[in-house]
Amino acid sequence: MQASSSVLYQEYSKYQNSVNKNNVVEVAGNFFSPSLLGEDYRVNLGAVSQLLFKSYMVEEFSYHEMKNEQEGCLTINGYDEENAPLIFSLKYILNDGRWLIDNIHVVFVEHVKDFSDSAKCPNEYPE
């Protein structure tokens, strides 16, 4: 499951290692789909902070991904700065040959036993 064929996780790692609060606006198009970004993300401070969702997780525990030719989902289990468990659920779409994040869902869970044991798309979580 966590082999070198983990394309989506590799894309997430690129985002995680290269995006920060100083460059997120300039490089957002390399990691996020146009539909996720919307029209005004460059001037919307709330949007910019949402694009830095990675900062919630300070330690990764495990990940799972699934994809087909056009879209996929990546689920990352981990911990926040207070060592509380949380889950990132990311939907990716293939756009001009690049995998881009199209939807983000952050789930704060009660216990490690609540970690996801498979890839789940953001739309699979109850509202």
Give the predicted TM-score (pTM) of the model.
0.92
Q: What is the CATH number of the domain that holds 79?
A: 3.10.450
46: in domain: yes
DSSP letters for 23-34? THHHHGGGTB-H
- The domain total for the chain is 1
56-110 pLDDT tens trace: 999 999 999 999 999 999 999 999 999 999 999 999 999 999 999 999 999 999 9
**Range(s) of the domain holding residue 84:** 7-124
2: in domain: no
Q: Are strands 59-67 and 85-95 parallel, antiparallel or unpaired?
A: unpaired
80: in domain: yes
3-state percent helix, strand, coil for the chain, nearest multiple of 5: 30, 30, 35
The percent of residues above 70 in pLDDT, for the chain, comes to: 96
119: in domain: yes
Hunting for tokens 């994809």 — which residue is that? Answer: 67
Of 1-5, 12-16, 77-81, the poorest mean pLDDT is in: 1-5
1: in domain: no
19: in domain: yes
